[in-house]
Amino acid sequence: MEEVRPMNAITEKQGFWKKSHHLDKMTFKELVVAYFQYPAIIAYIALSFVAIGLFAWRPAPLWPTLASVGISVVAYPFVWYLLHRWVLHSNWMFKFAPLAATWKRIHYDHHQDPNHLEVLFGALHTTLPAIAVATAPIGYLIGGFGGAMAALATGLITTCFYEFCHCIQHLAYKPKNKLLVEWKRKHMAHHFHDEHGNFGITNFFWDKIFGTHYERSERPEKSPTVFNLGYTEEVAKKYPKVAELSGGVAKGHPRYRG
């Protein structure tokens, strides 16, 4: 199969964006401007205000509200870890044609070109249900309708925070905050060294619990599938849908592809 750069992943436009944005060529200021123009981020912020408004309409008592918010904050990294490890990095979704396009969009494209901003953010039709299911039921059990809205708003706001930190990790910019530097280092190893670990974004607690946390010195050999998540030319011959959507199977570091 011809080795080409997957054009769908590079030229995809979102909403009123008129050009592609690549974080390795952007300044921090340019990121901030682009971030708040991105449709998914606008949707998260708008929906969080809606959830807060609904909470104000039918509020939960103070302690159930605080518990709903607190548990949502704690549960979020765990849910993200589970989804990132066993869904986004799955090797089963591309085997089913109806799911192949979803898998390509939600994570394959991001690993094919980790600095491409348009595919760094998750697609709303996949992220919103996940956020709602991970937060609202817990809040409802604790504080009824008001608790559900408090938990949902927390999940949406946390997603905005996660996504902004995720952008910074791919930005051609060295954070001044030591914690951000550490997060960036671990996430860059996930993208450019070995994708079989460091699944967190701002929290690597669950990586340590499940044994997937690593330092580059602990894994001297670079993963051969770090950019394709195991969707190789050989695999594409048997399951061609993602390759058809991507314009082929790209190999090697995205910076050096033709």
pLDDT of 246 strictly over 70: yes
Amino acid at 193: H
Q: Give the model confidence (pLDDT) of 158-194 as tens digits.
A: 999 999 999 999 998 889 899 999 999 999 999 999 9
What does the pLDDT read at residue 1? Answer: 41
What does the pLDDT read at residue 3? Answer: 42
What does the pLDDT read at residue 198? Answer: 98
pLDDT of 23 strictly over 60: yes
Q: Give the model confidence (pLDDT) of 50-88 as tens digits.
A: 999 999 999 999 999 999 999 999 999 999 999 999 999
- Candidates 34, 20, 47; CA nearest to 158 is 47
What does the pLDDT read at residue 12? Answer: 46
For the segment 240-256, the average pLDDT, to the nearest whole number, is 85
What does the pLDDT read at residue 156? Answer: 98
If one compares 148 and 174, the residue with the highest pLDDT of the two is: 148
Q: How confident is the model at residue 255 (pLDDT cuts 50, 70, 90)?
A: confident
pLDDT of 7 strictly over 60: no
- Strand partners of residue 22: 116
pLDDT of 147 strictly over 60: yes
What does the pLDDT read at residue 17? Answer: 58
For the segment 11-21, the average pLDDT, to the nearest whole number, is 58
Vertex 232: Cα angle to 115 and 165 (nearest 5): 20
pLDDT of 44 strictly over 80: yes
pTM for the full model?
A: 0.89
What does the pLDDT read at residue 252? Answer: 78
Q: How confident is the model at residue 258 (pLDDT cuts 50, 70, 90)?
A: low
User: Please, is 57 exposed, middle or buried when counting C-beta atoms within 10 Å of its C-beta (0-12, 13-18, 19+)?
Assistant: exposed
Q: How confident is the model at residue 247 (pLDDT cuts 50, 70, 90)?
A: confident
Q: How far, in Å, CA of 191 to CA of 25, rounded?
A: 17
Q: How far, in Å, CA of 205 to CA of 189, rounded?
A: 16
Q: How far, in Å, CA of 33 to CA of 31, rounded?
A: 5
- Candidates 74, 56, 30, 17; CA nearest to 168 is 30
Alpha helix stretches (DSSP H) within the chain: 7-11, 28-35, 39-57, 62-83, 97-103, 109-112, 117-120, 124-170, 178-192, 205-210, 233-238, 241-246
